[in-house]
Chain A
Amino acid sequence: MNAAVTAPRSATTLDVAAIRRDFPILHQAVNGKPLVYLDNAASSQRPKSVIEAISRYYEHDHANVHRGVHTLSQRATDAYEGARETIRRFINARDTKEIVFVRGTTEAVNLVAQSFARPRFQPGDEILISALEHHANIVPWQLLREQIGAVLKVIPINEQGEVDFIEFQKLIGPRTRLLALAHVSNALGTIVPVEKFIKVARQHGVPVLLDGAQAIPHTPVDVQALGCDFYCFSSHKMLGPTGMGVLYGKRELLEAMPPWQGGGDMILSVSFEKTTFNQLPWKFEAGTPHIAGAIGLATAIDYLEKIGMDRIAAYEHELLEYATERLSQVPGLRIVGTAPDKAAVVSFMLDGIHPHDIGTILDTEGVAIRTGHHCAMPVMEFFKIPATARASMSFYNTREEIDRLVAALEHTRQVLG
């Protein structure tokens, strides 16, 4: 009966107790109960090393980048550009020129829509997305549709929450100019087998943008092996600061794209007659950037690499299997999104109890989950539900915390059942 005892022990050697000591925020009581943080798909927490790197930067090294001849400016520039190299290595891009700092995944997608797509797409040109996209990979394309008369086509999903590969092959055609696809679904956890989609897109000469916001914190990402043209991700979902993200783009594509914001740092020379734009990647980084954000993100990557992305993925997969098994035993609980290949996200419904009530009651038990449409309202529409409750795990979560979640759900059933 007690799955915690009968389930096989973790095969992955991850010293989770030691890891948890690195995350100060985890050690607190919420509503009188030890915090169980299971809202990692919305935003992860930060290890001490990231918090300290940001403090240290502001305490010792801060000045504006790319400008001053003085020591602090040089230190800030070295740290900022050093962060770019860390990120390049982390995702195996060829060149740091391919790493553009942005505010987050949302801004990265908007940049591609406005600077790559808008100047070159014609009315009637098609952009292909899937039905499980986050709003950040829907709305920028709808704006573009309004602006230039592009057509948005949507690859359907099935009841398991998988993107329909057969339908995709029917939808891609001579008018398709871009495939913009989530690597991992935030609402359901589906890992999209993007490699085979990219292969078909290649055969049609269609460039591919991947929304990697939910993938990159949980699995190794190699943009060259993937063969995608753009890869977008956010720092705050991978232990780094908020307001920071990355657009990876193939150099030849970025070179051909006009700047999308004008200002300082993105120029080489300015006169009232003519302005010469800066080179990549600075051409896309107008204004003083989020220097501390880049440093914090690079420190987060150092932390992730110290543990190892393969080990993180393996451990989280075990957590997902455990959570899926335990949650399936809760009477009246239905998991939404049952693709065989999933990241550590479990979206679920509890019979007769609205997700919002689940969220409130779990909070009084110290358990933080997300409830709502997860910025993926078309996904909710597909399953004919207004919202789900979603538990999303990270490598600092434990089986004991899953047990706490299950116990809190039992409590929810008692309160409202």
Chain B
Amino acid sequence: MDLKDLYRDVIVDHNRHPRNFGKLEPADVHADGHNPLCGDRLTVYANLKGEHITDVKFEGTGCAISVASASLLTEAVKGKTRSEVKELFDDVHALLTQHDASVDPARLGKLAALSGVREFPARVKCASLCWHTLNAALERAAEPVTTE
């Protein structure tokens, strides 16, 4: 277990300087995500044009992994369609949980920096919270989602 695999430079950077951080006003959809285990709380906002996500932002508090993951998410999904986001989430989920995940690194881009998380099972929920929250926003879910 190497700490540097978890806290890669990209992760540390996105934690220190989260991208697309703040409230999106007005936002077409938003959802709250909560990880009761560590107290992480995120809100993900998105604007949509047809099937395309035209803008996405997030705010909240969390550990380095959850903040960096959310920041990376906003960069990765902007401009993508709902179905592309779903595919990307599947890839990220595989990356976070499977050692033999056959995910094309080119498709993941910077998100590949999250691969170290799978060595730290207790932290998988931190990295996936923002994705579940975005999903809920896209489904216009009224209820807050949780990782439990």
Contact = CB atoms under 8 A, between A and B. Distances in A.
Contact of A372 (B6, B12, B39, B126): B39
B38 interface: yes
Given A356-B126, A360-B120, A386 B40 contact: yes
B47 interface: no
Interface stretch (B61-69, B94-102, B138-146): B61-69
A387 B1 contact: no
A154 B145 CA distance: 29
B122 A372 contact: no
A356 B126 CA distance: 9
A415 to B, nearest CB: 5
B15 to A, nearest CB: 7
In which size bucket is the chain B interface? 20 to 34
A373 B3 contact: no
Given A31-B1, A415-B3, A415-B7, A357 B63 contact: yes
B103 interface: no
A333 interface: no
Nearest to B7: A415
Contacts of B41: 386
Interface string B118-146: 00101100100000000000000000000
B37 interface: yes
Nearest to B6: A360
Nearest to A361: B3
A386 B67 CA distance: 14
A416 interface: yes
A217 B126 CA distance: 34
Most-contacted residue by chain A among B7, B15, B62, B63 (CB, 10 A): B63
Given A416-B12, A416-B15, 8 more contacts: A31-B1, A354-B67, A356-B126, A360-B3, A360-B120, A360-B122, A364-B1, A364-B3
13 contacts: A353-B64, A354-B63, A357-B7, A357-B65, A360-B3, A371-B38, A372-B37, A373-B39, A386-B38, A386-B40, A416-B7, A416-B12, A416-B64
Interface of B: 1, 3, 6-7, 12, 15, 36-41, 61-65, 67, 120, 122-123, 126
Closest 5 CB pairs of A and B: A386-B39, A354-B63, A356-B63, A387-B39, A356-B38
Interface of A: 31, 353-357, 360-361, 364, 371-373, 380, 386-387, 415-416
